[in-house]
Every structure is written in C-alpha cells, then in structure tokens.
Structure 1
Amino acid sequence: MSKPVIVVVGAGPGVSGSVARRFAAKGYDVGLLGTDADRLAELDRQVADHGAQTLAEVLDVTDVAAATSEIRSMGQWWNRIDVLHFNPSAFREKDPLELTVEELLEDVALGVGGLLTAVQAARQFMSAGGRVTVTGSMAADKPWNRAASLGVQKAGIRNLVRSIDTTLAPEGIRAVSVTVQGSLGEDGPFTPDRVAEAIWDAAHQDEASWSSEVAYHG
C-alpha cells in the first residue's frame, strides 16, 4: 500500500511549512504548492529530509485553471490525496473606508475562493477517511479594522469549511478549520510548530464527535 499523501496549498515558511514537516515526519508523502520559488525549494528539501516523496510547484491558487491542473496532477501521480491543507490568506493594511470593493474581492478570491478550487480539484482523489484542513484565525471573530479584508476572509473560510464538511461527510471525508486564538511567534504557545500540531490533532479527531471548527488557545 502506498503512503498517505498530504497536499499543502500555500506552502512556505510559517504554519504551512510546519504542517508539511509534521505530516512528513508521520509518514506522509507531500505535495507543495506555493508562490515563492526559493522558499518552496527550501521547504521541499526539509520535507524530503523526513523521508517523504515530494512534489513541489510554484502556483497562484487564484489562477483556477492552473491550480486545478496542478492539484489533479499530484492526485494522479500518487493516485490519492488523503489530506488537503489550505493556508493562504491576503494581508492588506486598509480599513473599511480605504478598502475598495475590487481589493476586497481580490483578497477573498485568494483566502476563500482558493479553497473552493482546491477542494473541487482534489475531490476525485479523496476517499473515506480523507480530510480537508484549514488554517483559521481569531480575525474571524475579532477583526482588526486596519486589515478589514483579512477578517472577512477568515470568517468566510470558516463558513465554507462547514459547508464542505456537511457535503463530504456522507462519503466519510471531513473538513475542519483550526482557529488560532493568538498571534504567531517564534516562542511561546503560538509557534508554527505548535499550531501544526493542533492541525494534526484536528485532522485526527474522533469522527463520531467531529467538529468542523477547532479553536487552538495555546
């Protein structure tokens, strides 16, 4: 039997990199999709050091056709996707009086719409036991007005995750967002590695008592 596979959308430093390494250390092969070629190459090397087979591609997930093609290519390569992790969001420092409708929609296309693209592309390679995980944020409930679009993205993606979970649950595929209730840092309870551990735990929660949102308080 082939190893399980995780595809990380929005791969790079921070939580997404920690998620990739965490799952690789647990025996997963890893697909990496990110926008920065240098950071992606470095993460690819780190993940391979854990013994994982890797595929890495530079990708803008808002390019629906390209994202669909790349995710399906990874699914075809391994003939499976067991976990799809979605990490991207757009940070734009503008309050509601500065933010334009076009900018808001552009940010939502990345931070929410990208998940829709990824799930639709990965679905045919997922089976019972498959999981969709998402990096959430306290911005969903306590937005900073100076980054108004981020709160909209995080609230929107949490809502979308619930709909995805309800839709896929009859097939034994579950979705969960992990709401990080703190600011990421290099030390303390909100390091990327600790958040990645929380995402691992959320993906492996008991299906009988499944929750589509898990709050991580550190």
Structure 2
Amino acid sequence: MSPSPVERVALVTGATRGIGYAVAERLAADGYAVAVHGTDAGRAAEVAGKLAAEHGVPTVGVAGDVADPTAVAAFTRDVFTAFRRLDALVVNAGTHAAAPLGMLADDAVARLFAVNAVGAAHTLQHAGRLLRRGKAPAAVLLASVVGERGAANQVAYAASKAAVAGLARAAAKEWGPAGIRVNAVAPGFIDTDMLGMLGTLGEAGRAATVAATPLGRLGTARDVAGAVAFLVGPDASFITGQILGVDGGVTP
C-alpha cells in the first residue's frame, strides 16, 4: 500500500465495536483516513473496509494485543506503512472485570492493568513517533467516570482507568513543547455492552442508572465520539492535559 495524501490520519485502538467503532466512524465521516485497530486482524480489516465503503476515505485494519509491546510496535509500523504519519491518536482499547475487594482473581487484576494502563502507555510510546510527523497532532485517551470517582466492586478497573488519566496529564506536559496535545475523555454510563458488565443489567438497574444521571438518560457511543472528535480537531487547539467528563452530569 502506498502512502496516502489525505489531510488527516487517525489511529483508533479497540475500534471494532462499541465506543471505539463510533469514534472511528465519526472520524471517517469527518474525512480522516482511519487505521482501525482490533485484537482480531480479520475483524479489523472488515470494519476498515466498511468505513472506507461508507465514507470514501482510505482505511487500514491493524491488529495486536496492546498489552504486548512487540505487537504494538508491529501495528504502529503497519500504520506508518499505510499513511507515514498520525494526526490523531485515540487510545480506546480496554477490558473490564468487576468483583468485591478480595474476590477478583489475580490474573484478572493483572489483565486489567496490562491492557487498560500499561497498554495505553505502550500505545503512546510507539505511536508518539508517528504523531511527531503529523499536522497539529493530538491524542485522546479513554478514561472513565469510575476512574475519576471510584465505585464499589470496581477497585482494580477504577485504578487502571485513573492511571489512564494520569498518562494523559503527564504526556500533555511532556509533548506540549513538540506541539502534540493530549487529553482524555471520561465516559459515564454509556449504552454499550460494557454497561451490562458494570452490573446494571435489567430494567430496575437500568432505571436506577438513568435516575443517577442528571440529564435523565444513558449516554451513547456517539456522544463520546463527538467529544473525541472535538478534542482532536482544530477547535480544541489550546486544550491539553484535560480530562473531559462525558457523563450527563454524574461527576460534580
């Protein structure tokens, strides 16, 4: 594949479903060439092809476990081969597990940090070289309202997402002199598969979740995608090191 002459190039990790897919779709609709990342190469290629057909932009599917630095190095090389640079990086790949303190399996704790926190660091490490080649480059990391506020039965997950927020704040200070902006979004109760994993299954749980949200509804993946698109775009050119809640008012 020859390098693309498109105006803006984005890499979205964990982009084959949920919030990541919504972000990739929004950026493709906005005219970005998009590198669609997933753990399964076939699925990533399928989603990339769908976005290319629907939005008429260059795309590429890339794959690898973000917890493995060798895999991250490999898929960022694939992005370089396809596009030669990055203008927008969205660090979305993540996993979830929940249980009371003392009940979460050791391997589940390790995996939460390996993917959500260490994986985000690996992605910044390797994709940073491509961002330095970009035009008005920006990165957005996916944190969580749980990482900002904490929640019962979510200790390891919350801690891993708090680490993501810390990564964003620190990277913003380090990369600012190079002209690279770094922010994070912290979604609240978003109507995706993950919401069920957070223990809000069933009509009663769903109603309680909505009641706890001042705007009176669950968020959508598109709500989060809109915030990400703003943060990587020119209207946010003087915004860096921020954690933007996309939570319907749950956080104070």
Give TM-score, length-normalised by structure 1. Answer: 0.89
Residue 114 of structure 1, CA deviation: 1.0
1:123 paired to 2:140: no
2:77 corresponds, among 72, 78, 82, to 72
Q: Is the 8 A contact 1:22 1:196 kept in 2?
A: yes
Counterpart of 1:212 in structure 2 is 242
Q: Is the 8 A contact 1:93 1:147 kept in 2?
A: yes
CA-atom RMSD in angstroms: 2.2
Counterpart of 2:22 in structure 1 is 18
Q: Alpha-carbon deviations, 1:101-148, whole Å to 9, x = none?
A: 553232111001111111111122223511111122111133333232
Distance in structure 2 (CA, Å) of the matches to 1:16 and 1:98 = 29
Counterpart of 2:231 in structure 1 is 202
**Change over 3 Å in CA distance of 1:96–1:61 after alignment to 2:** same
Q: Is the 8 A contact 1:138 1:180 kept in 2?
A: yes
Q: Alpha-carbon deviations, 1:64-109, whole Å to 9, x = none?
A: 1121121122123211111111112221122221135553232111
Gaps of 5+ in 1: none
Q: Is the 8 A contact 2:190 2:218 kept in 1?
A: no
Distance in structure 1 (CA, Å) of the matches to 2:105 and 2:25 = 37
1:46 corresponds, among 50, 61, 65, to 50
2:90 corresponds, among 82, 85, 90, to 85
Larger mean Cα displacement after TM superposition, 206-215 or 128-137: 206-215
Distance in structure 2 (CA, Å) of the matches to 1:174 and 1:123 = 11
Distance in structure 2 (CA, Å) of the matches to 1:46 and 1:139 = 32
Secondary structure class of the residue paired with 2:20: helix
Give TM-score, length-normalised by structure 2. Answer: 0.78
Counterpart of 1:190 in structure 2 is 219
Distance in structure 2 (CA, Å) of the matches to 1:55 and 1:41 = 7
Higher-Rg structure is 2
Number of aligned residue pairs:
218
Distance in structure 2 (CA, Å) of the matches to 1:56 and 1:206 = 27
**Change over 3 Å in CA distance of 1:44–1:167 after alignment to 2:** same
Identity value in percent = 24
Q: Is the 8 A contact 1:202 1:214 kept in 2?
A: no
Gaps of 5+ in 2: 194-216
